[in-house]
Amino acid sequence: MLTATRRILRLAVLPLIALIANPVFAADDKAQPDVIIFTNGDQLTGKFVNEIAGKVTFHSDVVGDITVTWDKVKELHTGQTVAVVNQGVKFVHHRIPDTVAIGTISVADQQITMVTLQPGTHYITAQPIPVKSAEYIVDQTTLKKQLGGEPGFFQAWNGTATAGLTLVQATQNQYTFNAAVALQRLVPTVSWLDPRNRTTVDYLQSYGKITDPSYTTPGGVFVPSTFSKSSIFHADAERDQYMTPRLYYLGQVAFDHNYSQSLDLQQIYGGGIGYTVIKTPKQELDVKATVQYERQTFFNTLEDEDKNLIGSTFGAYYTRNLTNGLIFTQQVLYLPAWNEMHAYSLSELNTLSMPVYKNFSFTVGTQDSYLNDVPFTLPPTKRNSFQFTAGVTYNIKSSY
């Protein structure tokens, strides 16, 4: 009887001792808060966000996000599991290479020490590595999602929505309206991974009308009211699939309407290649070339001027982040038609956005378009169309 009692006590006590001796089993699954200590002695408790190219971002509920360089960090300790990616590591087939260390880290004296939980519930401390050797450090959940995940249809869209309005009531009544939406989704959504695909959607419209009211002359002659209007519309969508971090193939559609050029509708369906010539945190330059089918329909013409064209688009797309949050964008396009060489067109679009308050900015822009094959009309139609726009912009930021 005594022997049986001892056996029961041994079975009950040994697991308890194991729980006390091994914190892996005793601790719950909730990660401990991360801690950062700065060289000036200040300390924050919160969550380590990431380290990209030597810049450490840390989130605290008290002060929000803080980004500092490694030389400002005395110590850093994470309770969450992170991945340390050294310089030169490449990701293939959306998988994490074996050379990427995963675990909790402690940083001191500009050295990263990683502790990894191995099968069998024991910890292994890796050899410390200099902080300058780590290209980026990110939490394991984010890394897996960005490598293998795909955002939903309404996720990861970023861009702008702009609107402007002018009203004049005097001898003449006048109003103008302009609106623009520019959306982009880049997958992965983080800058520290090579892109897999990119989707862009653009919409631009401007409409204006000037009305001269009717009147009667002193001689009793009635003059009816007259009006003139302007209407410009553009919409396009593009899908890029990357073959290398800079080279990609693409498919696109575009639709244009310009009342002042008697262009009822221009439709473009095509595909081609693109290349990112410049890509830095401050600026980016892409060049693209496509082969396309183009359909042009006109109105107010004296004869049938509609065209079916086989042509191309050669374009340059530039973005520059200026000081004080200003953003300048420029797009220059040349569209030749190979089966009717005179039916070419050019366009240039420029915008400058200035931050005002939180997600709101003030934007000014110009749009210049030249259509060489305008139809013969009365009064004659000009080939060139230029407009200046201004409006309030809301910056769209979608999470993933």
pLDDT class of 31 with cuts at 50, 70, 90: low
Fold (CATH) for 158-397? Porin (2.40.160)
Hey, what amino acid is at 329?
T
Instruction: Please determine, for residue 6, whether its predicted confidence score (pLDDT) is greater than 60.
Output: no
pTM of the predicted model as reported, rounded to 2 decimal places: 0.81
pLDDT class of 170 with cuts at 50, 70, 90: confident
Instruction: Please determine, for residue 293, whether its predicted confidence score (pLDDT) is greater than 80.
Output: yes
pLDDT of residue 118: 56
What element of type H or E holds 290? strand 283-298
pLDDT of residue 207: 94
Radius of gyration of the chain (CA): 31
Q: Report the chain's mean pLDDT, rounded to a whole number.
A: 87
Tokens encoding 188: 């992965």
User: CB-based contacts of 65: which residues, under 8 Å, 6+ apart?
Assistant: 49, 57, 58, 59
Q: Range with the lowest mean pLDDT among 6-15, 44-53, 113-122?
A: 6-15
pLDDT of residue 20: 38
Residue ranges matching CATH 2.40.160.40 in the chain: 158-397
Instruction: Please determine, for residue 8, whether its predicted confidence score (pLDDT) is greater than 70.
Output: no
Give the CA count within 13 Å in the CB-facing half-sphere of 24.
11
pLDDT of residue 227: 82
Cα distance between residue 148 and residue 146, in whole Å: 6
If DSSP codes are grouped into helix, strand and coil, which group holds residue 224? coil
Q: Range with the lowest mean pLDDT among 137-141, 239-243, 332-336?
A: 137-141
Task: Check if the beta carbon of residue 250 is closer than 8 Å to that of residue 271.
Answer: yes
Higher model confidence: residue 98 or residue 84? 84
Instruction: Please determine, for residue 21, whether its predicted confidence score (pLDDT) is greater than 60.
Output: no
94 torsion bin: left (phi>0), alpha (psi -120 to 50), beta (else): left
Tokens encoding 203: 């919409």
Instruction: Please determine, for residue 25, whether its predicted confidence score (pLDDT) is greater than 60.
Output: no
pLDDT class of 11 with cuts at 50, 70, 90: very low
Instruction: Please determine, for residue 51, whether its predicted confidence score (pLDDT) is greater than 60.
Output: yes
